[in-house]
């Protein structure tokens, strides 16, 4: 599942392969994934050159040479692939470049979106300066009776990490995912944001090293400490347990304190 670390690596790999090239073909197979008529988006995109790829939260922004921006809002179920794979019924779109190479997106839920000239706001991101302890404290006041995992999954700045990495953050700061938000001490919220940023940076390094030459992104989680289906025990020797919170499978261990 795509989280912020995966999107960062994806942006790097797409930019390395395609920036500076002309878009020679653009096929949209799922009309509902576009915020404007698909013919308009194709007209704007085809025969333009890609000069930059930015990441703004969960949106990849393809900056074109004539000033338009094609945004791809990446869902957690999105699968990016290089052209040449066998077609499936869940392909949303495919883009081909002047080199003959290209990429496509497969999303069985159809939640990945194509956006013409999306907003440039970067506020909804854990790296944005507005993501502070003061910001979290204001949100905590409104959701004191939520579990911390559900609280973070709803927060616009934090939720982009994805369920997997949120479990990792909570394990590192030693807070159980079903702890009540209003019972967690402020010191833990002070740890949360820098821990999340550090985990993202470390994950980007690991995913980058694991991504092969025929891939755009390596779907790997085996380097994680707690959210790891291949492990039975956390690094502290406690059994890894699973519960469902906010409709997401959640991993935790008894090394994490429950605040209730």
Are 152 and 89 in a shared domain? no
Tell whether the model's pLDDT for residue 119 goes beyond 80.
Answer: no
Are 95 and 50 in a shared domain? yes
In terms of residues, how long is the chain?
260
Are 143 and 248 in a shared domain? yes
Burial class of residue 197 (count of CB atoms within 10 Å of its CB; 0-12, 13-18, 19+): middle
> Quick check: is 124 in a domain?
no
| Buried-exposed string 85-104: b where 16+ CB fall within 10 A, e elsewhere | eeeeeebbbbbbbbeeebbb
Are 55 and 108 in a shared domain? yes
Predicted pLDDT of residue 121: 65
Are 177 and 65 in a shared domain? no
Q: What pLDDT band is residue 221 in, cutting at 50, 70 and 90?
A: confident
> Quick check: is 57 in a domain?
yes
- Report the alpha-carbon distance of residue 237 to residue 185 in Å, rounded: 25
Tell whether the model's pLDDT for residue 149 goes beyond 80.
Answer: yes
> Quick check: is 121 in a domain?
no
- Report the alpha-carbon distance of residue 143 to residue 181 in Å, rounded: 7
Are 26 and 112 in a shared domain? yes
Predicted pLDDT of residue 34: 92
> Quick check: is 238 in a domain?
yes
Over range 222-241, report the average pLDDT: 93
> Quick check: is 22 in a domain?
yes
Three-state SS for 110? coil
- Report the alpha-carbon distance of residue 97 to residue 146 in Å, rounded: 47
Q: What pLDDT band is residue 10 in, cutting at 50, 70 and 90?
A: very high
Angle at 194 between CA 231 and CA 139, to 5 degrees: 100
Predicted pLDDT of residue 55: 93
Tell whether the model's pLDDT for residue 173 goes beyond 90.
Answer: yes
- Report the alpha-carbon distance of residue 93 to residue 147 in Å, rounded: 37
Predicted pLDDT of residue 141: 77
> Quick check: is 101 in a domain?
yes
CA atoms within 13 A on the CB side of 116: 13
Tell whether the model's pLDDT for residue 156 goes beyond 90.
Answer: no
Give me the domain span that covers residue 94.
4-116
Q: CATH number, domain at 43?
A: 3.20.190.10
Burial class of residue 133 (count of CB atoms within 10 Å of its CB; 0-12, 13-18, 19+): middle
> Quick check: is 45 in a domain?
yes
Are 225 and 156 in a shared domain? yes
- What's the token pair of residue 36? 């404007």
Q: What pLDDT band is residue 14 in, cutting at 50, 70 and 90?
A: very high
Angle at 11 between CA 99 and CA 87, to 5 degrees: 60
Tell whether the model's pLDDT for residue 239 goes beyond 70.
Answer: yes
Contact 181, 256 (CB under 8 A): no
> Quick check: is 163 in a domain?
yes
Q: What pLDDT band is residue 88 in, cutting at 50, 70 and 90?
A: confident
- What's the token pair of residue 69? 């921006």
> Which range scores top for mean pLDDT: 87-91, 132-136, 220-224, 239-243?
239-243
Predicted pLDDT of residue 219: 84
Summarize pLDDT for 52-62 with one digit per residue, the tens.
999 988 899 99
Number of structural domains found in the chain = 2
Are 28 and 107 in a shared domain? yes
- Report the alpha-carbon distance of residue 191 to residue 130 in Å, rounded: 16
Contact 196, 169 (CB under 8 A): yes
Are 11 and 98 in a shared domain? yes
| Buried-exposed string 213-229: b where 16+ CB fall within 10 A, e elsewhere | eeebbbeebeebbbbbe
Q: What pLDDT band is residue 120 in, cutting at 50, 70 and 90?
A: low
End position of a domain, from candidates 116, 141, 168: 116
Are 154 and 245 in a shared domain? yes
Contact 142, 149 (CB under 8 A): no
Tell whether the model's pLDDT for residue 181 goes beyond 80.
Answer: yes
Q: What pLDDT band is residue 76 in, cutting at 50, 70 and 90?
A: confident
- What's the token pair of residue 1? 């599942």
Tell whether the model's pLDDT for residue 96 goes beyond 80.
Answer: yes
Q: What pLDDT band is residue 102 in, cutting at 50, 70 and 90?
A: very high
Q: What is the radius of gyration, based on Cα positions, of the chain?
A: 20
């Amino acid at each position: 599942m795509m989280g912020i670390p995966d999107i960062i690596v994806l942006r790097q790999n797409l930019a390395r392969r395609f920036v500076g090239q002309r878009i020679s073909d653009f096929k949209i197979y799922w009309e509902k994934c576009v915020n404007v008529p698909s013919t308009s988006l194709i007209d704007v995109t085809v025969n333009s050159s890609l000069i930059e790829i930015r990441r703004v939260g969960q949106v990849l922004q393809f900056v074109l040479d004539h000033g338009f921006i094609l945004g791809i809002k990446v869902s957690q179920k999105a699968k990016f692939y290089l052209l040449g794979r066998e077609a499936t019924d869940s392909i949303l779109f495919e883009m081909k470049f002047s080199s003959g190479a290209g990429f496509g997106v497969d999303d069985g839920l159809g939640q990945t979106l194509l956006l013409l000239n999306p907003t440039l706001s970067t506020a909804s991101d854990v790296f944005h300066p507005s993501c502070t302890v003061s910001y979290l404290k204001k949100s905590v006041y409104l959701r004191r009776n939520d579990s911390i995992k559900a609280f973070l999954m709803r927060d616009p700045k934090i939720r982009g990490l994805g369920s997997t990495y949120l479990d990792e953050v909570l394990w590192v700061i030693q807070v159980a995912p079903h702890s009540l938000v209003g019972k967690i001490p402020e010191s833990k919220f002070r740890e949360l944001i820098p821990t999340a940023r550090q985990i993202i940076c470390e994950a980007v390094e690991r995913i980058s090293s694991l991504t092969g030459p025929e891939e755009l992104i390596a779907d790997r989680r085996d380097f994680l400490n707690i959210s790891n289906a291949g492990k039975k025990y956390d690094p502290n020797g406690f059994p890894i347990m699973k519960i469902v919170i906010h409709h997401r499978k959640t991993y935790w261990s008894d090394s994490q304190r429950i605040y209730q």
